Homo-oligomer: A and B are copies of this chain.
């Protein structure tokens, strides 16, 4: 990996920072955040502006360019990668280290008095704007919105914004029509006494209209906004996608409808002017509901007195609670996904052990091949983490030719992968050894397994937030002085983003919404030994009601049901570190894998994989 040479680009950027063509007054600094106008986690190539200007293409990072300096803030996952990808023009700001200044503090330390700091108001979330603007103002500087994105002005070969065809999802997948979703949304709006709701997150637009797209890799979403009034529906979307007869039919664009369900289709770029028109028409006490993560540009379009901002939108919360059709779809998707993985693991055992010719990349490709044979497969749900030996300790590893290792009988192999099927989204991690694991490797694996089981089998009251379960996953590791430096679980969409809010299982947050039956999260504790190996055991689990002996205050209890049904390698388990209860959990889980996935392998005529499954799901037995 050689760094990107950015001298010329930075020169050009510094020119446009002073050019009256683009800025009303020269800006002394320009901020290039990671995101897109929808604050997406995964972004389209045309939105990779920070990677373009710096060379650093990790998933998180903020660049700031001044007349003299260029600096990049990123977190511990990316210190090495950023250092490799950026040339000497750039200073790496290692977030989380004690001596690293915040962006605001750094700006204050390097800017001449009374500076202007520019940023694209569509890319910066309103809450970040507020914080940074306040800090700069108190030091005598100004944060200013620069309408034209300055990176785009110098990015001559910038790829076009994707505008791919849409997929319509019928009731058998979604369980609820978009009309009923609008009705439910309007009733939430009435409860909070707001007149308008602005949908800014791409997965929220997709979910609301029961549409999917492929504008962004891994996330089946499309570029659009929506503005829902009590009597109007406006969808802001570009291209000829609304010409597709299936889409027109799905959205009933040509039907005679009650006016409150008539969708007005508008150009994507007209969102701000339309919002300004909405804002101008409001009278006191009439409010517009927006996520507090919406862009500054959209938030600012509504006068402050009329804004109603919440961290989680009613769509985000409704979307998280899967209905029966979505749950059944997720079950089907996980069964197909398990079939693909049984095939893969059986194939790996045959290839790795005697031949030693399988690399991380080959294994990842093979996993995709098996998945793509399954019905309704659409694409992967994220870049496959296929890692062996020391690469397994790099939590967000993705194999590239420079790092690609060959799987062997001497090293642990960790595969974290998933797919988008039309009926659901999967995300599963298994860690395995093709030879004989060391006692230490088994010990670490077993602690991780104990943590996985502690979460999966946990019973907790209705209304409990997921972050309260995080320590359960760590307790066995903590007892021996071990730990892992990531959260334990994230929300998973239903044929949508593999990471979604508002729930999860992580010590890092406090603002997650309570878990409720129908929510789907991952359970993925791990252990990582730098330079040596990584262990992670991940299932996607469904929140379900739990039967308990008593029922305090009539609150009811919840627990989890694993949707992922892929054997956990028995060879890696030190059975005598398990309690009898944990042992039973493993055996019950494997029994279910054998029954459910076995039947499907049989149905698909995959007999060799079936034999592998049966062998891998034999009971484990404690020696007392």
Contacts and interface: CB of A to CB of B under 8 A. Distances in A.
A481 B547 CA distance: 8
A481 B138 contact: no
A507 B470 CA distance: 12
A459 B471 contact: no
Contacts of A579: 579
Interface stretch (A128-136, A153-161, A171-179, A549-557): A549-557
A58 to B, nearest CB: 22
A475 interface: yes
A474 B555 CA distance: 15
A397 interface: no
Given A471-B471, A472-B471, A478 B507 contact: no
Interface string A437-467: 0000000000000000000001111000000
Interface in A544-589: 546, 548-553, 555, 557, 579
A549 B480 contact: yes
B550 A482 contact: yes
Contacts of A474: 460
Contact of A478 (B305, B475, B479, B557): B557
Contacts of A600: none
Contact of A470 (B468, B478, B481, B483): B468
A579 B468 CA distance: 23
A546 B482 CA distance: 13
Stoichiometry, as copies per complex, reads: 2
A469 interface: yes
Contacts of A138: 305
Contacts of A553: 483
Interface string A357-370: 00000000000000
Contact of A548 (B461, B471, B480): B480
Nearest to A508: B510
Nearest to A465: B507
Given A481-B551, A552-B482, A469 B471 contact: yes
Interface in A302-325: 305
A552 B483 contact: yes
Interface string A137-177: 01000000000000000000000000000000000000000
Nearest to A551: B481
A472 B470 CA distance: 11
Contacts of A546: 481
Residue among A469, A472, A483 facing the most chain B CB atoms (10 A cut-off): A483
Interface of A: 138, 305, 458-461, 468-472, 474-475, 477-483, 507, 510, 546, 548-553, 555, 557, 579
15 contacts: A138-B305, A458-B475, A460-B471, A460-B474, A461-B481, A469-B471, A471-B471, A472-B475, A478-B557, A480-B550, A481-B548, A481-B549, A481-B550, A481-B552, A481-B557
Given A481-B552, A483-B553, 15 more contacts: A138-B305, A459-B478, A459-B481, A461-B478, A461-B481, A468-B470, A469-B471, A471-B471, A472-B475, A480-B549, A481-B546, A481-B551, A481-B557, A483-B555, A510-B510
